Structures are given as C-alpha cells and as structure tokens.
Amino acid sequence: MLRTCVGGTIHGVAGSPVTSSLEAIDSLDVDAFVSLFAPRGRLLSVDGRVANGAEEVRAAISSFVSDLRSTSHQVTAEWHPEPEVWIAELDATYELNNYTELGPYARAVVLRAGKEGIDELRIYGLHELPLTASAHPYQEVFGSGRWLPTL
C-alpha cells in the first residue's frame, strides 16, 4: 500500500503505527508513545542514539519532549510493503519552550511492528550534528547556537 500527498497534507494511513506514534509525539504524550512499543522495543533517533526497552524509550522521549512547547509531523508519503513493516516520509516542525520555531525538517521513518507493539522504530533525517562537532556529540544536541531536534 502506498499513500502520497497530492495537493495537500495527509496524516498517514489510517491505523498505521507510524501515524499513532506521531500523534502521541505531537500531543507530547510520553505514556501514549511508550505504550505503542513492545516491552523490548527499540528506538533509533536521528542523532544516532538508541533506546532499548520500554524504560529507555521512555527516558529518551521524556528528554526529547521536555525541550518542546509543541511539535507537528506531516506525513507526505507512507508505504506498507509487508505486514510488519511501515515506511514513511514526513516533515517535522518544532516550537521550543523559549518559543523558537524550527523546521520543517525532512524525516524518514522505518517501523517494524510485532505482536506486542513496535519492535523497532528508526528515524532518519537532516540537520543532525557531524560526529566531529564535539567530544560528546550526542549528550547535548546543539548546533549553530541552538537545540537541534532528534525526532
């Protein structure tokens, strides 16, 4: 199944775990996001950080949303090539707690679903820092004097 954006924004395929996860993030609802994951689910964020298991996913998403006043994700295309695989292209826009607006940033998502929820969610995108940007590139993700979003 393929759905693309033609002349307007779509919000993904109905019933898609990609859509559900983005809705949880856009509502800044950590519990709703984590509830979509299998107990041993894995999250890979744009900046290369990996969270394994529900508690690490909770910590990663809690840290992410703590810097945000709001966020929105617009799905521009979504594929469902196999029963457990979802792939989506989207644009992500962020408003930080200090009212700075960032984006839209292009993102690609690959999601593998299992019987217990999301087994793996990989988020790829633009604007991440180069690996040589600091001695600790992913502890604080800032570039050009500002925070860079990782989801």
- The enclosing domain of 38 has a CATH number of 3.10.450.50
Asked if residue 33 belongs to a domain, the reply is yes
Helices within the chain (DSSP H only): 17-26, 30-35, 54-66
Query: Is there a domain that residue 137 lies in?
Result: no
Query: For residue 128, what pLDDT band results from cuts at 50, 70 and 90?
Result: low
- State which residues form the domain around 95: 2-126+143-147
pLDDT in tens, 133-150: 544 444 555 555 556 665
User: How many domains is the chain partitioned into structurally?
Assistant: 1
pLDDT, position 146: 58
Establish if 134 belongs to a structural domain: no
Contact 87, 120 (CB under 8 A): no
Instruction: Read off the pTM.
Output: 0.78
pLDDT bracket for residue 10 (50, 70, 90): very low
Q: Please tell me the number of Cα atoms within 13 Å of 148 on its side-chain side.
A: 21
